[in-house]
Chain A
Amino acid sequence: MKTKHFLLVLILFVYAGLYIATSTPDKCDNDCERTNQTFMNLRLNRPYVSTLYRCTNRQGSDTLCVFVSDTTGIDWNLFADTACMVASQNGLPRQKIFIIKSGATPPDTLAKKVCP
Chain B
Amino acid sequence: MNARLLIRLLLHCVLPLVIGFAIYYFFRPEVAVIRWTGHHTPLIPVSEMNDWQRLLVFSGPDFCWSYSLSAALFIWQKAQDRPLPYFTLFVFLIILLSELLQGWALPGFTLDWADLIAALSAFGLSWMFKAR
Contacts and interface: CB of A to CB of B under 8 A. Distances in A.
Interface of A: 4, 7-8, 11-12, 15, 18-27, 36, 39-40, 43, 50-51, 53, 65, 67, 100, 102-103, 105-107
B112 to A, nearest CB: 12
Q: Which of B24, B36, B107 has the most CB of A within 10 A?
A: B107
Contacts of A102: 40-41
B38 A107 contact: yes
Interface stretch (B49-57, B72-80, B122-130): B72-80
A29 to B, nearest CB: 11
Interface residues of B, number: 30
A24 B108 contact: yes
Given A21-B32, A24-B109, A15 B40 contact: no
B61 A22 contact: yes
A53 B33 CA distance: 16
A20 B33 CA distance: 9
Nearest to B48: A43
Given A50-B40, A51-B45, 5 more contacts: A11-B73, A22-B32, A25-B108, A26-B107, A107-B38
A42 B69 CA distance: 41
A21 B76 contact: no
Given A8-B76, A11-B76, A19 B40 contact: no
B10 interface: no
B110 interface: yes
A51 B80 contact: no
Contacts of B30: 24-25, 53
Interface string B96-132: 0010000000111110000000000000000000000
